[in-house]
Structure formats: structure tokens, C-alpha cells
Amino acid sequence: MYKIVKIGLIVISVISAILLFFMPDSDMPVAEAMESGGMNAMHWIAYILLAVAVAATVIFGLKNMISTPGGLKKSLMGIGGLLVLLGIAYGLSSGTDVSVDAMQRLGIDTSEGEIKSVGAGINMFGLLLLVAVVVIGWGAVKKATSK
């Protein structure tokens, strides 16, 4: 299996390196650049790699959860914790951080719900960063005091 994956990654790398020569110039308008053949092929490679990564993560994660007795409980607790954090992040976002009219003047069609979702994503990032710092700090303090 390792050799197959390694050969597949080498093939994808060579194809990507060749496609770099077909990328649009920097002075090309963005709309035209997005429709170029090289850019389109690179997007498809990225989509395929993303699909493979997601499938492998889900399949092997489910396999590990089922095979380990306490794995399912820990996974569900982790998912529940993330959902609680997401609820907090969504509750903290106001949806009025940016004016919808100001976005429409810039040519960006948006709604208050979309602005609230973006705010929730930013808040979620901050909350996860805070949780990571607290967990790392807790581990350092616990290690220092246990000696």
C-alpha cells in the first residue's frame, strides 16, 4: 500500500510540475485566469486530493472508533465539545460587523446571515486558539508541579 501511495504522489507531483508551465501570467485578469486550462487542471487535482484525504480520514477514523472500546465515547465527546464551541461562536457573532450596503457598493452580494457565519468562523478560530493555549499551559503546569 505504501508503494502505491508513493507512486501516486510522485505522478501527481510530476503532473502538477508540468501544469505550472501552463499557469496564466500575473498580468492576466482574474476572470480569464480562473478559466485557463492550467488553473482548471490544478483545481481538479486539488479537489481530487481533498476528496482522497477526507475519505481516508473518515474511513480510518470510523474504523478506529469501532475497533477501540473507548474510542467512540471519546470521539463523541470531542465532537460534542466542538459543537458547543461552534454554538458559542455563532452566538457571539453579531452579523452587523460589516454593513450589507457597504458590501454591495463594493460589488459583493451578501446578506446579514452570511456576515454572521463569517463572524462565527472568526470567533470559532479564536475560541479554538484559546482552548489550545489553555491545554498547552495546563500540561506545562501539570508537568512542572508533578515532580
- pLDDT tens figures, 57-86: 999 888 888 888 787 888 889 899 999 999
Buried b (16+ CB within 10 A) or exposed e, 5-18: eeeeeeeeeeeeee
pTM above 0.85, yes or no: no
Radius of gyration of the chain from its Cα atoms, rounded to whole angstroms:
22
Q: Write out pLDDT tens, residues 125-137.
A: 999 999 999 999 9
Q: Using alpha carbons only, give the angle 140, 145, 147 rounded to the nearest 5 degrees.
A: 110
How many angstroms separate the CA atoms of 14 and 4, rounded? 15
Q: pLDDT tens-digit profile of 91-114?
A: 998 877 777 788 788 888 888 888
Residue 87, pLDDT > 90, answer yes
- C-alpha grid cell, residue 120: 462565527
